[in-house]
Amino acid sequence: MKVNIDGETKTLLAVWYENGEVKLIDQRLIPDKIEIFTAKNSDDIYYAIKNMVVRGAPAIGVTAAYGLAMASKNKENMDEAVKRIASSRPTAYDLFKAIDYMKNNKFAESAARRYAMEITARSKKIGEYGNELIKSGDKILTHCNAGALAVVDWGTALAPMRIAHDSGKNIFVYVDETRPRLQGARLTAWELQQEGIEHSIIADNAAGYFMKNKDVNLVIVGADRIAANGDFANKIGTYEKAVLARVNNIPFYVAAPGSTFDFSIKSGDEIPIEERDENEVLIVNDKHLGPAESHARNPAFDVTPHEYVTAFITEYGLFKPEELKNLYSMIQRD
């Protein structure tokens, strides 16, 4: 992704491998500053994923792949390194896909590099297929951040918008702020601003207002894990956007690479949902929002039933939920 740093345009990736270390844009600090977090061992990788230095399903997968290559090069106990990294976050399937990929390739650095290169190429393809759904003048709503920061480059839900904008289409994006971690307000808005794509940040509870007033004509979101029947987990709040889109007759697309599809589970009921620390909800800028004695619940994801999905935008093309068997065969052949 192209990033403007102190008036200079630079090309940055969300994750990369350099001199035997894993480098990550520290996503906790964006948009205030761009700082690079260096991971030197599997404990650092665990810390970075768990604390959301890096986040977004494909980016978590790539970080794990590079992390395991690094751990193997440093002669760490690989059973322990795998166990530790696998325990960092439970929902994004890409994490487990990447770990399996690295196990099958003996934790080779070349395999991790290939994994990262492929995911980048796949997200560009998602962008190309998704671009075909976008017309000039479209107003698109997205939730959380499924941009370049969440992959390595391009993004999933944001890739079609990038390509549509680059090809001269006039688009406008409604960015849900995405409480409690504000991935929309902080990360998606920052990416769109870097690209010069017109957008407005909206409070999470404003989406219905804009949909009902015919101000949104397309919704595109990412996913963390998609079950065989098309039920999918994504950032908390996605489910209600899907229901609102259905009620208001707005097409609702889910953009994700093959690595996010978990065909070993039949439905969304089997997706493990992470519940994070209550303080993410209770405290903003070191200040308690409510009474200090109040507790909070903080599920990080929800599951949207497949009947709300118009189609999945993948690197293999578009698939309606009932067509996912075809996607499965294509992934098996790949």
Which CB atom, from 107 or from 301, has the smaller least distance to ligand MRU? Answer: 301
Q: How far apart are the first and last CA of the chain?
A: 27
Which whole-number Å values give the CA distances from 69 to 14, 72, 83, 84, 168, in the listed order? 18, 5, 14, 14, 40
**Look-up: residue for tokens 């390595």?**
152
Which CB atom, from 67 or from 222, has the smaller least distance to ligand MRU? Answer: 222
**Look-up: residue for tokens 């229901």?**
243
- Burial tier of 290 (Cβ tally within 10 Å: 0-12, 13-18, 19+): exposed
Binds ligand MRU by CB under 6 A, chosen from 42, 45, 56, 225: 56
Shortest Cβ 150–ligand MRU spacing (Å) = 3
Q: Is 118 a residue that touches ligand MRU (CB under 6 A)?
A: no
Q: Which residues contact 316 (CB under 8 A, 6 or more apart)?
A: 258, 327, 330, 331
Q: Which of 153, 176, 224, 231 is catalytic?
A: 224
52-60, 194-202, 263-271, 278-286 -> range binding ligand MRU (CB under 6 A): 52-60
Binds ligand MRU by CB under 6 A, chosen from 102, 227, 300, 309: 300
Nearest to 309 by CA among 324, 299, 327, 328: 324
Using DSSP, state whether 253 is helix, strand or coil: strand
The torsion angles phi and psi of 216, rounded to 5 degrees, stand at -125, 130
Shortest Cβ 151–ligand MRU spacing (Å) = 5
Binds ligand MRU by CB under 6 A, chosen from 42, 120, 131, 183: 183
Which CB atom, from 86 or from 108, has the smaller least distance to ligand MRU? Answer: 86
Q: Check if 224 is active-site.
A: yes
Chain residues that interact with ligand MRU, rule: CB under 6 A = 55-58, 92, 144, 146, 150-151, 156, 183, 222-224, 234-235, 300
| Catalytic residue numbers, as ranges | 224
